[in-house]
Structure 1
Amino acid sequence: MDDVELPLVYTWREARAAGARRRQITADGRRVSTGLYLSSAADDDVAVRCRAWTRLLPPDAAFGLGTAAVLLGVRSDPPAEVEVVLRPRPVLPQRRGLAVHVRDLRGDDVVDVRGLRVTSGAQTFLDLATRLTPAELVATGDALLRAGHLDAASLERRLARADRVRGVVRARECAPLLSARAMSRPESLLRYWLVTSDLPDPEVQVPVLDRRGRVVAHGDLGYAQYRVAVEYEGRQHAEPEQFGRDVDRYSLMAADGWLVLRFAGRHLAGPAVVVERTRRALLSRGWRPGS
């Protein structure tokens, strides 16, 4: 008997009903959970696995928390289990590989992402406030804003009705610190550390002007009054073309009197080095505490 053609996602029952033998299912399928399979021909990523789970979940289920952050494109570290959010009900799904969270979701707390029900940017931000540090929560919020999944008004509305919800205190503290202009997670972390220190708040994407008032460069973060810029150097800055552009940019900034502080991945473990070096730079340019 020849093997039958199986879809990319199927259940054991569906495959057997279509005439597939046990041997074929065992050889072809990658088990997602008991009775649920992905074909070996399917990409094994978060979105594909979520589509598989929709075969077994209630229609009102929405993918949330860490899984939502990956589907929304704002984090790249998927949780070990697919995370699902459901409204309260007498019996919740219990399956290996699935983490179920109960939330009182409303219509605008769920959005469609490539055919999948996913918690909105505001709901995801609130949910992640229970597990992320304030700095990482701000970085995630910045990414949600940058990707168009969040805006100040929708976040304000969601947090306004979140009294006594776990994480709401942290979410409300971090919400005013968000900025869509931060271009990456490292930049967001640097900005959070500076904003929550006793230093002045830095500008985001601060313009650098030449003597004629023309914009010749932008700093990731900076203090135009003191001509101090704070830059994060990711791996992409090592590419020859980008390196050349950086040389031009830093030369132009230096020529017009800017002091540029450059930080890298080794400095993301904590705020001490970033804050202290920025403090020294500002002091050298005339800033004084309390000014």
Structure 2
Amino acid sequence: MLDLSSLHRMSRSIYAQSADQAGRLPAIFRRLPATAVVGFHTGAQLHGFGDARSSDVHVIVPAGEKVPHIRGVVTHEAVLPVRDPVLLAGVPCAPAVRCAVDLARSLRRMEAMPLLDLCLRVGACQPEELRVEVARHDRLRGVCQARDLVPRADPRAECRQESQLRLVLIDGGLPPPEPQIWVPDSYGIPLYRLDLGYRQHHVGVEYDGSSHLDRARLQHDRSRTNWLAANGWQMRHFTDRDLYRRPAHIVRTLIPLLHP
């Protein structure tokens, strides 16, 4: 007889070997129809680009499929079939490219851009795969946003704020900035790397997070900024307040440097 005291109760009639995802998913799928696959946020997490976090388990079923109500499970009915599901964590999962495009259609624009960048950065899929997949979603809700963001996805972004800062500049009507620019010294050896920038204008754009408050980091940043200024670079630094509360200020700050 199964000892329920050693299991974790997930919902009515659902008990898992452990409370983590590896233990939860097989238990949940025992109550789902055979057509169900993991997708959206949960699928992205399984594929290694879970920038859009969700405590719920997200599954995809064909439109009209009857699914029992399970606490903590979000069901997405899809008219577009899921092609070639893969087995991850013991359950069927939509391919990485399907998860990426579904999220690019459904997330807020500022949340979708970092996810697409990360998808490419970890190698979960390739740019051409994203372009092919987004074409399959024609006429579905949110596809216009996904079509706009997919060609802008860039694996060089190293954090979500860099992705979002790049998007603020693009949406503000500025040219797309180049991520991760290396600035060489007088011998041509790469010396400093900039988050974003416009090489032709010698304009650098940086996101300063909490790590920049460390004293040693602050000293390094000041030395770096002085060297860049002495070598013709105009640097502009922005924080979370700028990014999330006054993005228009970022654009207004850079316009005179790019269009003097």
TM bracket (short chain) = 0.7 to 0.9
Superposed displacement of residue 239, structure 1: 4.5
- Distance change (3 Å), C-alpha of 1:278 and 1:45: farther
Report what 1:256 is aligned to. Answer: 231
What runs of 5+ residues in structure 1 fail to find an aligned partner? 1-16
| TM-score calculated relative to the size of structure 1 | 0.77
Q: Please, what is the CA RMSD of the aligned residues?
A: 2.6
Cα displacement string for residues 152-181 of structure 1 (whole angstroms, at most 9, x for unaligned residues): 111111122222222212111111111111
Residues 1:173 and 2:148 aligned together: yes
Secondary structure, in 3 states, of the residue corresponding to 2:251?
Answer: helix
- Distance change (3 Å), C-alpha of 1:95 and 1:176: same
Q: 1:188 and 1:272 mapped to 2: Cα distance?
A: 16
Report what 2:11 is aligned to. Answer: 33
- Aligned residues of 2:181 and 2:194 also touching (Cα < 8 A): yes
Alignment size in residue pairs = 258
Report what 2:184 is aligned to. Answer: 209
Report what 1:277 is aligned to. Answer: 253
Query: Which amino acid in 2 is paired with 1:205?
Result: Q
Q: 2:13 and 2:212 mapped to 1: Cα distance?
A: 47
Superposed displacement of residue 141, structure 1: 0.6
- Distance change (3 Å), C-alpha of 1:151 and 1:245: farther
Cα displacement string for residues 124-153 of structure 1 (whole angstroms, at most 9, x for unaligned residues): 222223432222211111111111112111
Alignment partner for residue 105 of structure 1, among 66, 81, 96?
81
- Aligned residues of 2:104 and 2:116 also touching (Cα < 8 A): no
Superposed displacement of residue 240, structure 1: 5.5
What runs of 5+ residues in structure 2 fail to find an aligned partner? none
Report what 1:53 is aligned to. Answer: 28
- Distance change (3 Å), C-alpha of 1:57 and 1:268: same
Q: 1:214 and 1:90 mapped to 2: Cα distance?
A: 60
Report what 2:169 is aligned to. Answer: 194
Report what 2:101 is aligned to. Answer: 126
Secondary structure, in 3 states, of the residue corresponding to 2:76?
Answer: strand
Q: 1:33 and 1:183 mapped to 2: Cα distance?
A: 38
Q: 1:239 and 1:47 mapped to 2: Cα distance?
A: 37
Query: Which amino acid in 2 is paired with 1:37?
Result: Y
Superposed displacement of residue 244, structure 1: 5.2
| TM-score calculated relative to the size of structure 2 | 0.86
Cα displacement string for residues 219-266 of structure 1 (whole angstroms, at most 9, x for unaligned residues): 110111221111112233344565555445334323312122112222
- Distance change (3 Å), C-alpha of 1:269 and 1:247: same
Which structure has more relative contact order (CA 8 Å, sep 6+)? It is: 2
- Distance change (3 Å), C-alpha of 1:245 and 1:62: farther
Report what 1:71 is aligned to. Answer: 46
Q: 1:77 and 1:204 mapped to 2: Cα distance?
A: 21
Secondary structure, in 3 states, of the residue corresponding to 1:182?
Answer: coil
- Aligned residues of 2:11 and 2:70 also touching (Cα < 8 A): yes
> Which structure: larger Rg?
1
- Aligned residues of 1:211 and 1:256 also touching (Cα < 8 A): no
Report what 1:93 is aligned to. Answer: 68
Q: 1:258 and 1:178 mapped to 2: Cα distance?
A: 26
- Aligned residues of 1:86 and 1:102 also touching (Cα < 8 A): yes
| Higher normalized helix content (fraction of residues) | 2
Secondary structure, in 3 states, of the residue corresponding to 1:129?
Answer: helix
- Aligned residues of 1:217 and 1:252 also touching (Cα < 8 A): no
Alignment partner for residue 145 of structure 1, among 117, 120, 143?
120
Q: 2:86 and 2:159 mapped to 1: Cα distance?
A: 24
Cα displacement string for residues 6-49 of structure 1 (whole angstroms, at most 9, x for unaligned residues): xxxxxxxxxxx33x3xxxx3x5543211111235xx3x334442
